[in-house]
Amino acid sequence: MPQVVLLASSCTGLPGTTRRLGVSLSQLGLVRQTFRSAGWAVRLATPAGGPVPVDAGTLSEEWFEATRYCLRAESIADVEPATPDAWLVLGGHAGLCDLVGLAELERRLETAAQLGRTVAALDHGGAALAAVAGRLRRDRRRPYRLTGRTDEEEHASRHLHLLPRSSEQVIRSADVSFVAGPAWQPYVVTDGPFVSGQNPASASAVVDAVIARDADRALAA
């Protein structure tokens, strides 16, 4: 059975705001459900491990059952890079606090990518891949292409002014190529070991791309 590790934030807020942040419950619920329906084992990991904070703006009856998956997560430090078939960084503004620039996470994602595993991200999670993709460019003629939540989308949702750095700004600052589609429409980029989705609407397509890449890898083995 193939295995994916979903990576979520342990951060509960941004400086200067009162809204409780954390994992996007709808993203966690949909991504987990889609992987499990495809026969994948799903693990959840955060920087701190233990209970996973939930972004208050994503609470809904539709995904309320997913809150029970947030009762306890593994620590990222306890996940060996070679064990999962894929890694997927979930979105939510909180990830800009503790997933971007997290050395433990970057080491694991870089090793996983070098081993041929799929390293994926959704929404704000794309910012957590930027430094890794930039370092792995080395012998390529062109930088890896990544996408993530755009400044246009942040501005439309009135969040841009709250962020120290947006997902788009983080990605553009690395040695990668930022690409994007129309605001709020599904848009997914697959480039080498990396799969990234622009926004929450891209969740199902990101999972499909991860599953397809893993199938191609298995055929090539």
Per-residue confidence of the chain (221 residues) as pLDDT tens digits? 999 999 999 988 776 666 788 899 999 999 999 999 999 999 999 999 999 999 888 888 999 889 999 999 999 999 999 999 999 999 988 888 899 999 999 999 999 999 999 999 999 999 999 999 999 987 688 999 999 999 999 887 776 666 678 899 999 999 999 999 999 999 999 999 999 999 999 999 999 999 999 998 888 87
So what's the pLDDT on residue 17? 67
d(CA 113, CA 134): 12
In whole angstroms, give the CA distance from residue 26 to residue 107: 28
Place of tokens 């078939």: 85
Q: So what's the pLDDT on residue 15?
A: 66
Residue 73 tokens read as 């997560």
Tell me what pLDDT residue 13 has: 75
Measured between alpha carbons, how far apart are the two ends of the chain, in Å? 16
Q: What is the pLDDT of residue 91?
A: 93
Q: Hey, what domains does the chain have and what are their CATH numbers? A: 3-220 (3.40.50.880)
Q: What is the pLDDT of residue 121?
A: 98
- Please give the pLDDT value at position 220: 80
Query: How many residues belong to the chain?
Result: 221
Burial class of residue 168, CB neighbours in 10 A (0-12, 13-18, 19+): buried
CB 9 within 8 A of CB 76: no
- Cβ-proximal residues to 31 (8 Å cutoff; 6+ apart), any chain: 6, 88, 90, 122, 203, 206, 207
DSSP classification of residue 62 = T
